[in-house]
């Protein structure tokens, strides 16, 4: 015989609360209902292990969609419920939990709530007009129980003829939510939220040979020593749909002082990569929680792909709580330490492999140093850069002698470390450095401008960085050789070009002139451009090489030839710095034609 009861909460407030505050994504109800089914099975298995009931040979959760009837059903063969338990756990606790939820979060705006498993059953009302429960307890002589409610102020509860132990939730899907009855949609959601749940989940099974949609014993739960490289690669492909093999991985397996299991994969990210390209999936007891929870996973590790399962992470809290939770902070620090230890181990034990992986790792490691002080301290000795000879060396090996505090007060600066930011554009400067027996490092990732400034900040008495075109005269000059006459020729020709002229005797007599750019001014210009403030004009210096025969020949030329020749030298130098503008190219071609004609007439 059925009876009626009243739900003890203002019914007119119930559905707006659920839809507005409970979850940001409707589809999460799939996780909640299936997770409840898994929990029911876990409880029955525990009782069986204790000898209080007979064990089940095959535990399973079945998800069935009936488009014609408009229903979505989730059924388990777990512990089941008596009528008293349905009243207690479904009617009283869930709805009173909703009231508590309103009290706690409505005033705070409900921002950033990760999970509310106590209210999981009622998440289904986000997509359902009515929900029915058919359940039968494991207890002897238990009767089947039927419960139904449309989520308003009333429900019905009574007996039913359910014969088998377990619970069946029948959701009558609202007309506007019919997409949740499509097999492809459901399969996608089950794989997203339930991939690693501990008991098999079947979607619309058709026979004995149907396959579960989940993996009940994911690789990260195994001991690292029991896993093969091929298993890691297969797990990576299937979990992240990335068919590029990962560079390597870290298998996390902790039981104390907190429980933590997982695998972090280093993907092939190359040089240009969006800082949020990775995906670290967070689980609690094999139940998916969210991707990239930065309160648990340090921000720089978001460049990786991985799975982290930590039962000790509190779920029914706001993210602001996670930020201040000491246990969560310990977890984040531990993960950071394990990543740094893995990189250090690889560098020490297999330097050749570390160097071959560096083009993929560089952005990740540098970003990590910028974001996490402890990570930087752990990896500062394995930060490597390639020199002009193509050899990788630790960045610290390029530093000069430390400048004492007293010398620094007197204006002495550390010896510069020159760097190349564009191998093609700076080809002439690279050649000059090589010919002079000088070295420089290649900085070809987009994060390098920020990282070099960071290294200068960390080592102010040992290093300053100059781009290879910033002070060529200082690095390559033979001797100080100011030539006032030549300087006057070039200044007159370049009048109005906003270029500073400087004369030096360089070691390479075949180079008539080079462009130098103020390192400080260029960095400021790049910073403005990076933040969308517009690129400011660069401070250019034309270094005229007094050792060049072509330059010296200008002294004996007439005024017009001096002007044309000086401009030609300037444009030659400028082309090695940047592409010529249309009007500059036009003038350069005109001058080149004139000089060629004059030369051929001789």
Residue 254's pLDDT is 86
Nearest partner of 135 among 178, 93, 165, judged by Cα: 165
Q: Is residue 369 part of a domain?
A: no
Provide the CATH number for the domain around residue 545.
1.20.120.790
- Same domain assignment for residues 11 and 68: yes
SS3 assignment, position 443: coil
Q: What angle is formed at CA 402 by the lines to CA 396 and CA 407, rounded to 5 degrees?
A: 155
Q: Which of 308, 323, 350 is the last residue of a domain?
A: 350
- Domain assignment present for residue 530? The answer is no
Residues 51 and 114 in one domain: yes
The pTM score is: 0.78
How does 271-306 read in b/e, with b if 16+ C-beta sit within 10 Å? eebeeeebbbbbbbbbbbbeeebebbbbbbbbbbbb
The C-alpha atoms of residue 182 and residue 451 are separated, in whole angstroms, by: 49
Confidence at residue 318, expressed as pLDDT on a 0 to 100 scale: 56
Of residues 147, 143, 148, 149, the one with CA closest to residue 162 = 143
Domain boundary at 350, 375, 391, which?
350
Both 232 and 196 in one domain: the answer is no
CA distance 266 to 444: 20
Domain assignment present for 501: yes
For the beta carbon of residue 234, count every other beta carbon within 10 angstroms.
Answer: 12
Domain membership of residue 199 (yes or no) is yes
- From 323, 350, 377, the end of a domain falls on 350
Pair 191, 238: CB distance under 8 Å: no
Assess whether 188 and 322 both reside in one domain.
no
Sheet arrangement for strand 248-254: 248-254, 260-266, 305-309, 279-284, 287-291
Kindly state the DSSP code that residue 92 receives in the 8-state scheme.
Answer: I
Residues 71 and 166 reside in one and the same domain: yes
Report pLDDT for 386: 97
Residues 571 and 591: their CA atoms lie apart, in Å, by: 10
Q: Are residues 180 and 57 in the same domain?
A: yes
- 162 is a domain residue: yes
- 136 & 236 share domain: no
Predicted pLDDT of residue 529: 66
Q: Write down the pLDDT at residue 11.
A: 45
Question: Do 177 and 61 reside in the same domain of the chain?
Answer: yes
Tens digits of per-residue pLDDT, 71-106? 999 999 999 999 999 988 887 655 554 455 445 545
| Residues 490 and 568 placed together within one structural domain of the fold | yes
H/E stretch holding 187 reads: helix 183-194
Residues 119 and 19 in one domain: yes
User: Do 111 and 199 belong together in one domain?
Assistant: yes
Pairing of strands 416-420, 464-467: parallel
Q: And the tokens for 120?
A: 């999981």
Q: What is the per-residue pLDDT for 117?
A: 45
Q: How far is CA 98 from CA 90, 155, 318, in A?
A: 12, 16, 16
- Please report, for residues 73, 146, 172, 292, the alpha-carbon distance to residue 160 in angstroms, rounded to integers and kept in the order given: 17, 6, 18, 44
* Any domain includes 359: no
Contact present, 504 and 490 (Cβ < 8 Å) = no
Residue at 497 is within a domain: yes
β-bridge pairing 166-173 and 71-76:
antiparallel
600 located within any domain? yes
Q: How far apart are CA 230 and CA 234, in angstroms?
A: 6
Positions of the chain with pLDDT under 70: 1-24, 92-119, 153, 205-209, 269-278, 314-324, 473, 479-481, 528-538, 602
**Residues 390-405: pLDDT tens digits?**
999 999 999 989 989 8
Number of domains into which the chain is organized:
3
CATH number at residue 150: 3.30.565.10
Range of the domain at 565: 481-514+538-602
Q: Judge if 135 and 168 occupy the same domain.
A: yes
């Amino acid at each position: 015989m059925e009876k009626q009861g009243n739900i003890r909460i203002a019914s007119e407030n119930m559905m707006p609360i659920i839809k507005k505050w409970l979850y940001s994504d409707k589809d999460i109800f799939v996780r909640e209902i299936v997770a409840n089914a898994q929990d029911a099975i876990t409880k029955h298995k525990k009782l069986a292990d204790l000898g209080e009931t007979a064990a089940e040979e095959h535990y399973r959760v079945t998800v069935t969609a009936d488009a014609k009837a408009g229903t979505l059903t989730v059924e388990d063969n777990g512990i089941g419920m008596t009528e008293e338990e349905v009243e207690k756990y479904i009617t009283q606790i869930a709805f009173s939990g909703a009231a508590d939820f309103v009290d706690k979060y409505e005033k705070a705006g409900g921002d950033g709530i990760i999970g509310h498993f106590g209210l999981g059953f009622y998440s289904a009302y986000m997509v359902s007009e009515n929900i029915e429960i058919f359940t039968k307890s494991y207890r002897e002589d238990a009767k089947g129980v039927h419960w139904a409610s449309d989520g308003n102020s009333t429900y019905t509860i009574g007996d039913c003829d359910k014969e088998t132990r377990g619970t069946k939730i029948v959701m009558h899907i609202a007309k506007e939510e019919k997409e949740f009855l499509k097999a492809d949609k459901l399969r996608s959601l089950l794989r997203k939220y339930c991939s690693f749940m501990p008991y098999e989940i079947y979607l619309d099974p058709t026979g004995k040979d149907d396959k579960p949609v989940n993996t009940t014993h994911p690789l990260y739960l195994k001991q690292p020593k029991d896993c093969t490289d091929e298993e890691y690669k297969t797990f990576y492909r299937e979990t992240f749909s990335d068919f590029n093999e990962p560079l390597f991985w870290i298998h996390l397996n902790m039981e104390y002082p907190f429980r933590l299991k997982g695998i972090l994969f280093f993907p092939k990210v190359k040089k240009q990569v969006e800082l949020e390209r990775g995906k670290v999936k967070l689980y609690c007891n094999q139940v998916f929680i969210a991707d990239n929870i930065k309160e648990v996973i340090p921000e720089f590790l978001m460049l990786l792909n991985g799975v982290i399962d930590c039962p000790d992470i509190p779920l029914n809290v706001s993210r602001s709580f996670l930020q201040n939770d000491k246990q969560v902070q310990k977890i984040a620090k531990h993960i950071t330490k394990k990543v740094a230890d893995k990189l250090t181990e690889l560098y020490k034990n297999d330097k050749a492999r570390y160097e071959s992986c560096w083009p993929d790792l560089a952005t990740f490691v540098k970003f990590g140093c910028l974001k996490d002080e402890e990570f930087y301290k752990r990896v500062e000795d394995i930060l490597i850069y390639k020199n002009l000879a193509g050899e990788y060396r630790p960045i610290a090996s390029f530093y000069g002698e430390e400048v004492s505090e007293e010398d620094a007060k007197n204006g002495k600066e550390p010896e510069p470390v020159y760097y190349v930011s564009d191998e093609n554009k700076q080809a002439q400067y690279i050649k000059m450095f090589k010919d002079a027996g000088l070295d420089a490092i290649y900085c070809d990732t987009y994060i390098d401008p920020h990282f070099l400034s960071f290294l200068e900040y960390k080592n102010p008495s040992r290093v300053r960085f100059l781009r290879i075109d910033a002070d060529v005269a200082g690095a390559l000059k033979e001797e100080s050789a100011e030539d006032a006459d030549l300087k006057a020729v070039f200044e007159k020709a370049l009048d109005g070009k906003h270029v500073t002229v400087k004369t030096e005797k360089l070691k390479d007599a075949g180079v008539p002139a080079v462009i130098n750019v103020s390192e400080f001014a260029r960095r400021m210009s790049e910073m403005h451009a990076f933040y969308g403030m517009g690129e400011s004009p660069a401070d250019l210096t034309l270094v005229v090489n007094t050792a060049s025969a072509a330059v010296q020949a200008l002294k004996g030329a007439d005024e017009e030839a001096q002007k044309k020749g000086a401009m030609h030298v300037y444009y030659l130098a400028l082309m090695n710095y940047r592409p010529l503008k249309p009007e500059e190219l036009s003038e350069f071609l005109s001058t080149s034609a004139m000089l060629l004609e004059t030369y051929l007439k001789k």
